[in-house]
Amino acid sequence: MRTIKIFDTTLRDGEQSPGASMNISEKLQVANALTELGADIIEAGFAVASPGDFESVRTVADTVKGSSVCSLARCVEKDIDAAADALKNAEQPRIHVFLATSPIHREYKLRMTTEKNIESAVAGVKYARKFCGDVEFSAEDATRTEIDHLCRVVEAVIDAGATTVNIPDTVGYATPIEMYERIKALFDRVPNVGKTVISVHNHNDLGMAVATSLAAVRAGAGQVECTINGLGERAGNCSLEEIVMALKTRNDVYDAGTRIITQKLVPTSRLVSTVTGLKVPRNKAIVGQNAFAHESGIHQDGMLKNPTTYEIMQPCDVGFQKTDLVLGKHSGRAALADRAKTLGCDLDTVQLGKVFEEFKKLADRKKNIYDEDILALIEQEIHERKDPYISRCCQAACQTAEWSLVSYDLRCRTGKEPQVRLTLRNGDREYTRETSGGDGPVDALFFAVKEITGADISIKEYSVQSVTNGEDAQGDVTILINRSGETYRGHGVSTDTIEASTVAILNAVNRSGSAISR
């Protein structure tokens, strides 16, 4: 089996995504994550482009150990000087020179003849070789270059000392079969091709970047250039996580693998998404939130019987903890029974039938069905029918709520402690407290809830998510509280996030069994 080199260009081509710019410390964080992931080469930037780019390349080159660090440069001396200077302390430096070779670029951008084109490419490679033993040459727009000219350029740059020759599909135009044929032609026609590594760098304008990269590997390419989350100029580059998992999952077809530690794909994807602010779509292959989530009843039933029915990879192989059987309107009895069991309620067939009926009605009204909703349904159905059977865990989880919110009046001002007047109901009595203090509005309300209920609790985790998009989106708050060493979860949804937070706190207090009568 061949080992394909993974050349990551998240910090260079990825950063060319509009809105994806990163500062030096963020770039360093990403570079360290890429090394831990097992990327063979990290393209840290385009040193000559700006003082900031130079500093980024230099900082990454000075720090990273274990992966090659590379800088891009045009085939001009001042670019190559800057690249060499920025890389001078790198453990494994690589200079990456490029020149467009296609007729469109030669005629309109470079105003260059074919002979001059070859001459400039050769001069660039030779000059870079003076500083570095590892030089990559990229024939920009190679897939729209006449094949005879491309073969001549490739042969000449190999003779000039290029250790890697990259054949980019700069505008994402090639089809997989064309890419296969182009790479195959280079192997068949360029006499010295064996002295270099052939690489591809494919853009995703037609959504084919991963497919064209796989086709190139099939034809003999030994390096793939890619980015985390498929970031990159316009529609982006070949996605690292997709190409790596395609090679791993279908190695029966490609007989090739990579050095990537695939369990680190999801954490790396999340890091890049956080530092760039570019969200990963839920349905993104491999690292999207839905990549291992199943909602259809038929699929969930199959998954519970044997995960290979609907999953070709294991979630833990890419860094997710587990498969997510999302409960929603398409879910079936098997998934509901399984979730109830996980929550401690072993339902018999009659109980399940009844709960399932109510669950379907609820799912029509509510997009997300949470564990608390399931517990509430079970409690309602089982209690109403006065069923003698309720498991111990289920009883504990199905505590009847005691405290509820009547009203709050909250005042927050810059530089001042928040003030709150909170009224709660317990049974038919209402309790009001006025308090001040806390780090913010939620903290202030939490303090007031403690005052009124007398529950000795602390917040372990607090998160708020928007249920839908838009100005009228509901805030969906989940809170974990600690009480006497036990953790209890609370949940609240409202268009008013403060109200949702208070309801979530009370929900957790009630579940913790706070029956303090005052």
Binding site for ligand KIV (CB under 6 A): 13, 72, 98, 138, 140, 166, 168, 170, 201, 203
Stretch that binds Zn ion, among 6-14, 146-154, 286-294, 368-376 (CB under 5 A): 6-14
Q: For the CB of residue 225, give the shortest distance to ligand KIV in the complex, in Å.
A: 7
Query: Which one, 5 or 201, has the nearer CB to ligand KIV?
Result: 201
Q: Does 499 bind Zn ion (CB under 5 A)?
A: no
At 442 the three-state DSSP class reads helix
Cβ partners under 8 Å of residue 445, min gap 6: 408, 410, 420, 422, 438, 498, 501, 502, 505
Q: Which does 67 bind (CB under 5 to 8 A by kind): Zn ion, ligand KIV, none?
A: none
Query: Which one, 13 or 242, has the nearer CB to Zn ion?
Result: 13
Q: Which does 196 bind (CB under 5 to 8 A by kind): ligand KIV, Zn ion, none?
A: none
Q: Which does 140 bind (CB under 5 to 8 A by kind): ligand KIV, Zn ion, none?
A: ligand KIV
Query: Which one, 139 or 347, has the nearer CB to Zn ion?
Result: 139
Q: How many positions of this chain bind Zn ion (CB under 5 A)? A: 1
Cα–Cα distances (Å) from 49 to 70, 73, 95, in that order, read 14, 9, 15
Q: For the CB of residue 469, give the shortest distance to Zn ion in the complex, in Å.
A: 32
Stretch that binds Zn ion, among 7-15, 114-122, 307-315, 410-418 (CB under 5 A): 7-15
Place of tokens 């309109």: 108
Q: Does 13 bind Zn ion (CB under 5 A)?
A: yes
Query: Which one, 73 or 325, has the nearer CB to Zn ion?
Result: 73
Place of tokens 């268009």: 495
Query: Which one, 201 or 491, has the nearer CB to ligand KIV?
Result: 201
Cβ partners under 8 Å of residue 447, min gap 6: 420, 435, 437, 438
Q: Which does 435 bind (CB under 5 to 8 A by kind): ligand KIV, Zn ion, none?
A: none
29-53 burial code (b ≥16 CB/10 A, e <16): bbbbbbbebbbbbbbbbbbbbeeeb
Q: Which does 98 bind (CB under 5 to 8 A by kind): ligand KIV, Zn ion, none?
A: ligand KIV
Phi, psi angles (nearest 5°) of residue 86: -65, -30
Q: For the CB of residue 10, give the shortest distance to ligand KIV in the complex, in Å.
A: 12
Q: For the CB of residue 52, give the shortest distance to ligand KIV in the complex, in Å.
A: 19
Closest CA to 129 of 95, 104, 102: 95
Q: What is the CA radius of gyration of the chain?
A: 30
Cβ-in-10-Å burial (0-12, 13-18, 19+) of 461 comes to exposed
Q: For the CB of residue 13, give the shortest distance to ligand KIV in the complex, in Å.
A: 5
Closest CA to 100 of 116, 84, 78, 83: 116
Q: For the CB of residue 98, give the shortest distance to Zn ion in the complex, in Å.
A: 9
Contact residues for Zn ion (CB under 5 A)?
13
